């Protein structure tokens, strides 16, 4: 579903609401208690310095691995980044928004989702504690460059709640060329 909206200072943007079925299929590898992303939308080329971005709404009613800390932590940062980035890239395949991915179908994307997508570098910082029960996040792809048998996606991520909580980070995501991997292995 595509619906236009107008940003206060800029031109009209097109927001693609990620269908519940797409969200469910992309997040199916996660255990139910570790599925934190509730809704997402994708913005094709939202700014000159961004190829594509996604916004998501999250809730962590209880941690899947530790007693309640009362705040969003580094492990949850990573899990939430993964979930929103996977959904963003899945919607990119469906909508043809990121041609360098070179994944022709959503079924192919789903087959490659776990074995071929790697976090090569993750940097995160926390400005103020985030309430994990209700918060939002964004992931944006700044560039996509091929290096040998891998597509390198330079991404940025940010999370905020409605109470001033915030964190941000940079993630270098690698997408392995599965054809080359099969040739080598």
The three-class DSSP label of residue 99 is: helix
Task: Say yes or no to pLDDT of 116 above 50.
Answer: yes
Task: Give the helix/strand (H/E) hosting 153.
Answer: strand 150-160
DSSP state of 86: H
CA 160 – CA 58 distance, rounded (Å)? 10
Global model pTM greater than 0.85: yes
- Of residues 28 and 11, more confidence is placed in 28
Range with the largest mean pLDDT of 9-18, 67-76, 95-104: 95-104
For residue range 4-24, list pLDDT tens digits in order.
332 333 344 578 999 999 999
């Amino acid at each position: 579903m595509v619906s236009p909206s107008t940003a206060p200072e800029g031109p009209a943007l097109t927001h693609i609401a990620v269908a519940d079925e797409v969200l469910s299929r992309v997040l199916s590898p996660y255990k139910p208690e570790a599925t934190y992303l509730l809704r997402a939308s994708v913005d094709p080329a939202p700014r000159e310095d961004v190829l594509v971005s996604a916004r998501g709404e999250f809730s962590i009613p209880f941690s899947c691995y530790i007693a309640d800390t009362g705040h969003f932590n580094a492990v949850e940062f990573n899990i939430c980044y993964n979930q929103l980035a996977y959904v963003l890239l899945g919607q990119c395949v469906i909508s043809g928004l990121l041609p360098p991915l070179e994944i022709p179908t959503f079924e192919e994307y789903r087959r490659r989702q776990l074995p071929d997508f790697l976090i090569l570098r993750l940097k995160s910082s926390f400005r103020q504690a985030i309430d994990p029960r209700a918060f939002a996040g964004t992931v944006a792809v700044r560039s996509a460059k091929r290096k040998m048998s891998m597509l390198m996606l330079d991404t940025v991520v940010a999370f905020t709640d409605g109470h001033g909580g915030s964190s941000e980070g940079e993630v270098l995501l690698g997408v392995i060329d599965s054809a080359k991997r099969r040739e080598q292995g």
